[in-house]
Amino acid sequence: SNEKGTVDLKELAELMDEDTVGLMLTNPNTVGLYDEGIEEIEKIVHGKGGLLYYDGANLNASLGISRPGDAGFDVVHLNLHKTFSTPHGGGGPGAGVIGVKKNLIPYLPTPNVAFNSDQKKYYLSDAGEKSIGMVRAFWANFSVLVKTYAWILSMGPDGLYNTSETSIINANYILAKLRKFYKPAYDRYCGHECTITGREYKKYGVKTLDIAKRLMDYGVHPPTIYFPHFEP
């Protein structure tokens, strides 16, 4: 990352070569910032024959607003247990739906759900001449998939858009309210989450962990801390 909290384009260009399979990227990233250099990142990765993989962990900021494919991503996984209203506590159950561009469809594991237009029905297909075949149990956490589908249908396009819009507004509201007490890690508008730092309190012998623990004393659920680890 650079001093702005986004991908260092110069360093990426120096490291990217023909032996690099691809780049996995979250956008907005781990510190809640949209990487405005995504078009240049796409050119660098694809220019060396690599693939661009979208980590959908932070899709909360993008529903109905932007599409990963339009930004040049070749593969995407959606964290249903983060963005799509399914459980995430206690280690699961989670699920990650995979989406790929047309040129990668032949490589997907099988079986896949296909549609027979003549018989008007869905079926499991083993088609995929370049596929590695079945990957262990292929049903995934089926209940999570059903819950996700039901949630999407109940929300509709406008509801999904409002979900992201509200999360972005909420995160920036929190950032604005807390900036008088804690310095923003990166002083700009954020996506669905904000990152603040407790380094200002080090001179008093107070760590971010101490602040988080003290919040619990007052019945307040503490925020995620030291994630990413380079941000105190």
Show contacts of 223-229: CB within 8 Å, 24+ apart.
227/30, 228/30, 228/31
Q: What is the pLDDT of residue 145?
A: 87
Chain centroid offset of residue 228 CA: 14
CA nearest 112: which of 130, 132, 138?
Answer: 138
Other Cβ atoms closer than 10 A to 147:
19
Please state, in angstroms and rounded to a whole number, the distance separating the CA atoms of residues 158 and 162: 6
Structure tokens at 197: 């730092």
pLDDT digits (tens, 9 = 90+) for 184-204: 999 999 999 999 999 999 999
Asked whether the predicted pLDDT for residue 83 surpasses 60, the reply is yes
What domains, with CATH codes, occur in the chain?
A: 9-95+140-154 (3.40.640.10), 165-218 (no CATH)
- For the chain, the average pLDDT equals 91
Pull the structure tokens for residue 8: 């260092």
Cβ count within 10 A of residue 21 = 10
pLDDT tens digits, one per residue of 150-179 = 999 999 999 999 999 999 999 999 999 999
Q: Is 57 helix (H, G, I), strand (E, B) or coil?
A: coil
Compute the chain's Rg from CA coordinates.
21
The pLDDT of residue 33 is 95
